[in-house]
């Protein structure tokens, strides 16, 4: 797929960025919403908090598969239609999460994962076509603020909807947001999907491994993917266990915990833009920026073990802000660099390969995190353990990028 000549296109980078951000936010809200409702859903299903990790694993198992198909679907359908199909899968999965049966909840989690996976490859292709190389990290960071923005929306809406109307209505409310995201993309479909090839083959199982091999064979992309894997482990545990941590370990109410989740996500929005700017502006910017992120993320992980019921609320929010700004704020710096080092037309495939390892980290971490929390009797101690793999990432980023 070749780059679009934006000077002759009716589209511009601002409109493309706005559409990709809003559709990403809708998908993110869909995936995060069940974790916010976890205390109610776990009680309804009569399972322990470890099941939250199982939910996350199912979501990312689906996302691993569908993200690798993202580049293939973009070629056949175009990035807008691919994104709309992804949101439709989220709409189908959300109501199933409110059904008091494990089989239905399992199916819902898998559908949410299948819908979430192709969103980033599709949006990366759109932005790579319309963004100057000198602004890639910043633009990708702004687009990736759709992930925490979706978390803010879910954190504000889901707890209140749960208390007022119940789990079914709470999930349906987020499904409506996904439908709105689909509608917002439609006006730009003709232009953004103009380069699609309707005769391009549909995804096959063989399409899963190709992007991963390409990423691991590339010296810079390999380092980025190693960092992404560990960062995604921390992010997955933080995003999907924070409400449980605050309600179980710190005795916060679910409404207060939902508000704290929104604070976390707002901090990550600020972090994404700040890190993207640094990655574009500094000499050796991507590597240096990722090292700063790694150090602060490790310190925040250790600080989580020191939080208790008696800890001042503002101190808790400060720690969460640092954690959110790093553990959920790293994506733009990584994805902008991925798009920068590959030729035009290969951004979707390279992003898919990076996402495979990111989603794999998000898949394996929460179940292990839940077990570690049960073993230690504290989710705070489980967070502190992440300082160890983060130290390894810092070591891997200690040398300069290969030429």
Do residues 372 and 304 make contact, with C-beta atoms less than 8 angstroms apart? no
With 50 as the cut, is the pLDDT of residue 10 above it? no
| Angle between helices 50-77 and 79-97 in degrees, nearest 10 | 150
Q: Is 199 helix (H, G, I), strand (E, B) or coil?
A: coil
- Using a pLDDT cut of 70, give the percent of the chain over it: 91
- Using a pLDDT cut of 90, give the percent of the chain over it: 31
With 60 as the cut, is the pLDDT of residue 308 above it? yes
Least confident of 44-48, 98-102, 367-371, 384-388: 44-48
pLDDT for position 85: 94
pLDDT for position 50: 67
pLDDT, tens only, 358-370: 888 888 887 788 8
pTM of the model: 0.73
With 60 as the cut, is the pLDDT of residue 5 above it? no
CA–CA distances in Å: residue 310 to residues 184, 313, 315, 321? 45, 9, 11, 19
Do residues 336 and 137 make contact, with C-beta atoms less than 8 angstroms apart? yes
């709409």: which residue's tokens? Answer: 91
Exposed, middle or buried, 302 (CB in 10 Å: 0-12/13-18/19+)?
A: middle
Do residues 65 and 202 make contact, with C-beta atoms less than 8 angstroms apart? no
Nearest by Cα to 111 from 52, 35, 59: 59
pLDDT for position 272: 84
Nearest by Cα to 397 from 167, 227, 260: 227
The secondary structure of 115-173 as a DSSP string is HHTTHHHHHHHHHHHHS-GGGHHHHHHHHHTHHHHHHHHHHHHHHHHHHHH-HHHHHHH
The mean pLDDT of the chain is 84
pLDDT for position 156: 84
With 80 as the cut, is the pLDDT of residue 107 above it? yes
**Among the CATH numbers 1.10.3720.10, 3.30.1330.60, 1.20.1250.20, 3.40.50.620, which is that of 13-188+207-396?**
1.20.1250.20
The tokens for 346 are 């290969």
Phi and psi at 85, nearest 5°, equal -65, -35
pLDDT, tens only, 317-357: 999 999 999 998 888 778 777 777 776 667 667 777 888 88
The tokens for 49 are 């908090």
With 90 as the cut, is the pLDDT of residue 87 above it? yes
């Amino acid at each position: 797929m070749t780059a679009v000549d934006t000077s002759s296109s009716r589209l511009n980078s601002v409109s493309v960025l706005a559409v990709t951000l809003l559709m990403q936010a809708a998908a993110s809200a869909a995936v995060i919403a069940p974790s916010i409702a976890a205390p109610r859903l776990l009680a309804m299903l009569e399972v322990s908090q470890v099941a939250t990790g199982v939910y996350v694993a199912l979501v990312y198992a689906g996302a691993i598969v569908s993200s690798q198909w993202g580049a293939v679907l973009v070629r056949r359908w175009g990035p807008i239609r691919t994104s709309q199909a992804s949101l439709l899968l989220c709409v189908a999965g959300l109501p199933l999460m409110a059904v008091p049966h494990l089989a239905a909840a399992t199916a819902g989690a898998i559908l949410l994962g299948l819908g979430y996976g192709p969103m980033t490859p599709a949006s990366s292709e759109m932005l790579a076509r319309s963004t100057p190389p000198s602004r890639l990290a910043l633009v990708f960071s702004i687009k990736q603020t759709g992930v925490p923005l979706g978390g803010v929306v879910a954190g504000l809406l889901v707890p209140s909807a749960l208390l007022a109307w119940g789990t079914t209505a709470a999930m349906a409310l987020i499904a409506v947001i996904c439908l709105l995201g689909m509608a917002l993309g439609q006006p730009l479909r003709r232009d953004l999907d103009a380069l699609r090839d309707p005769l391009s083959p549909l995804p096959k199982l063989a399409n899963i491994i190709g992007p991963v091999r390409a990423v691991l064979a590339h010296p810079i992309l390999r380092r980025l993917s190693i960092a992404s894997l560990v960062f995604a482990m921390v992010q997955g545990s933080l995003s999907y266990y924070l409400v449980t941590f605050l309600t179980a370990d710190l005795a916060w109410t679910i409404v207060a915990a939902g508000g704290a989740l929104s604070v976390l996500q707002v901090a990550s929005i600020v972090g994404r833009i700040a890190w993207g700017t640094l990655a574009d502006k500094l000499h050796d910017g991507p590597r240096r920026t990722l090292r700063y992120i790694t150090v602060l993320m490790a310190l925040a992980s250790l600080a989580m073990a020191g939080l208790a019921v008696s800890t001042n609320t503002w101190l808790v929010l400060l720690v969460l802000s640092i954690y959110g700004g790093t553990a959920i704020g790293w994506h733009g710096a990584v994805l902008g660099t991925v798009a920068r080092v590959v030729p035009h037309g290969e951004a979707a495939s390279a992003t898919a390969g990076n996402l495979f390892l990111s989603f794999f980290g998000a898949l394996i971490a929460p179940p292990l995190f839940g077990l570690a929390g049960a073993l230690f009797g504290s989710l705070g101690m489980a967070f502190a353990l992440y300082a160890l793999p983060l130290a390894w990432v810092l070591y891997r980023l200690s040398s300069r990028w290969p030429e």
